[in-house]
């Protein structure tokens, strides 16, 4: 075992786009174990758009993050030492262990999920982890997909969007995804089975939505907000469900952010627009993961990840997330 715990601390509140200099690297001693505690060695650390808001204390559903704190981050790791018979050495666990090599917990102070032996750690962080759960509960509980529904998903080639789209296909929907490159669009239709994809950077999104969704959109699963949300709202069908999962286009904004101009179409179309926080479904994660593992085993759901090598790449990787480097779940392999 190494005798240093590599960490990245929050060094500055970001102004505009997040920067590597917003973090400070430090090495600390590996924490000592107390009674009932386990020592978790992280294997993969997740990069999530919500980290940007937490750096600014804008994410009000989690505790504030202060300058000098270990940067919060989701990860999967392996129990390396254990004083708790409920959690044996070698168990794969996932939780909010932070941008660091080691974390300690008794299972309650820092809650974590355990995964069955043989679970792919990349899947534990991706399709079976927080973003997979977000796709599952956002689409199924808020979107309420029915066979034949026209589903449009923004941020479709990312961790959440790619899983939401695949689940919508499983439910018999027609699925159109929006993504930021031709390669990503090709991956959505060629590999994941989306019915169509729109490159929102090079194509006219409104024109393409008119062409692909002539009878309107039944479910719009939104990961980006901004202009694309407005274009979707303009095209919703009667009784549509607009699932507000995220709004990445606003996370690095500096000035005031305009609201959706076309929100009143919710009235004309008798539609519903609803946000959610995936953590509210935590008690159901185990059952959802089991169902999703069944889909994976049956070849109906694919896990994909963009893996960046090396702990010290963490700050750069967060910048790259906002630049769209990833297809599927973005993570850094730390060990």
Ligand X SMILES: NC(=O)c1ccc[n+]([C@@H]2O[C@H](COP(=O)([O-])OP(=O)(O)OC[C@H]3O[C@@H](n4cnc5c(N)ncnc54)[C@H](OP(=O)(O)O)[C@@H]3O)[C@@H](O)[C@H]2O)c1
Chain residues that interact with ligand X, rule: CB under 6 A: 48-50, 130-131, 134, 155, 157-161, 179-181, 184, 223-224, 245-249, 276-278, 321-322, 324, 326, 330
DSSP annotation string for 239-269: EEEEEE---GGGTT--S--PPPGGGGHHHHT
| H or E element that contains 131 | helix 130-137
Decide: 158 and 184 in contact? Cβ < 8 Å.
Answer: no
Minimum CB separation from ligand X for residue 252, in Å?
8
Minimum CB separation from ligand X for residue 12, in Å?
21
If the CB atoms of residues 121 and 158 are measured against ligand X, the closer one turns out to be: 158
Residue 100: CB atoms within 10 A of its CB come to: 26
Minimum CB separation from ligand X for residue 324, in Å?
3
If the CB atoms of residues 236 and 321 are measured against ligand X, the closer one turns out to be: 321
DSSP annotation string for 156-209: TTBHHHHHHHHHHHHTT-EEEEEESSHHHHHHHHHTS--SEEEETTTS-HHHHH
Minimum CB separation from ligand X for residue 139, in Å?
12
Minimum CB separation from ligand X for residue 238, in Å?
26
Minimum CB separation from ligand X for residue 230, in Å?
13
| H or E element that contains 322 | helix 314-323
Minimum CB separation from ligand X for residue 81, in Å?
31
If the CB atoms of residues 188 and 236 are measured against ligand X, the closer one turns out to be: 188
If the CB atoms of residues 33 and 244 are measured against ligand X, the closer one turns out to be: 244
Percent helix / strand / coil, the chain, rounded to 5: 35, 25, 40
If the CB atoms of residues 172 and 275 are measured against ligand X, the closer one turns out to be: 275
Decide: 17 and 322 in contact? Cβ < 8 Å.
Answer: yes
Backbone angles phi, psi at 175, to 5 degrees: -125, 125
If the CB atoms of residues 295 and 322 are measured against ligand X, the closer one turns out to be: 322
Name the one residue in this structure whose structure tokens are 């500055």.
12
Q: 293 — alpha (psi -120 to 50), left (phi > 0) or beta?
A: alpha
Minimum CB separation from ligand X for residue 137, in Å?
8
How far apart CA 127 and CA 301 sit, in angstroms, is 9
If the CB atoms of residues 25 and 322 are measured against ligand X, the closer one turns out to be: 322
Minimum CB separation from ligand X for residue 275, in Å?
7
Backbone angles phi, psi at 144, to 5 degrees: 45, 60
**Shortest CA distance to 56 belongs to which of 46, 65, 45?**
65
If the CB atoms of residues 27 and 182 are measured against ligand X, the closer one turns out to be: 182
């Amino acid at each position: 075992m190494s005798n240093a715990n590599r960490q990245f601390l929050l060094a500055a509140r970001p102004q505009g786009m997040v920067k590597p200099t917003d973090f400070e690297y430090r090495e600390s001693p590996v924490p000592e174990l107390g009674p009932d505690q386990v020592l978790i060695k992280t294997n993969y650390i997740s990069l999530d758009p919500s980290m940007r808001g937490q750096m600014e204390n804008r994410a009000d559903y989690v505790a504030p993050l202060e300058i000098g704190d270990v940067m919060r981050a989701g990860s999967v790791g392996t129990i390396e030492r254990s004083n708790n018979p409920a959690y044996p050495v070698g168990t794969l666990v996932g939780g909010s262990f932070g941008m660091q090599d080691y974390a300690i917990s008794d299972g309650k102070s820092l809650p974590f999920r355990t995964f069955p032996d043989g679970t792919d750690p990349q899947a534990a962080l991706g399709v079976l982890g927080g973003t997979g759960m977000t796709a599952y509960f956002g689409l199924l509980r808020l979107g309420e997909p029915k066979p034949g529904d026209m589903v449009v998903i923004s941020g479709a080639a990312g961790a959440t969007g790619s899983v939401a789209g695949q689940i919508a296909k499983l439910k018999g929907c027609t699925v159109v995804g929006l993504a930021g490159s031709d390669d990503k669009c090709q991956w959505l239709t060629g590999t994941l089975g989306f019915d169509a994809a729109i490159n929102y950077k090079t194509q006219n999104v409104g024109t393409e939505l008119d062409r692909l969704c002539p009878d309107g959109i039944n479910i719009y699963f939104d990961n980006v907000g901004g202009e694309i949300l407005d274009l979707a709202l303009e095209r919703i069908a009667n009784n549509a469900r607009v699932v507000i999962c995220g709004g990445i286009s606003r996370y690095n904004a500096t000035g005031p952010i305009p609201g959706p101009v076309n929100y009143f179409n919710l009235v004309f179309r008798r539609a519903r627009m609803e946000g959610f926080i995936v953590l509210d479904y935590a008690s159901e994660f185990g059952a959802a993961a089991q169902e999703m593992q069944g889909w994976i085993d049956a070849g109906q759901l694919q896990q994909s990840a963009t893996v960046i090598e090396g702990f010290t790449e963490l700050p750069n990787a967060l910048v790259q997330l906002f630049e769209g480097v990833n297809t599927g779940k973005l993570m850094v392999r730390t060990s």
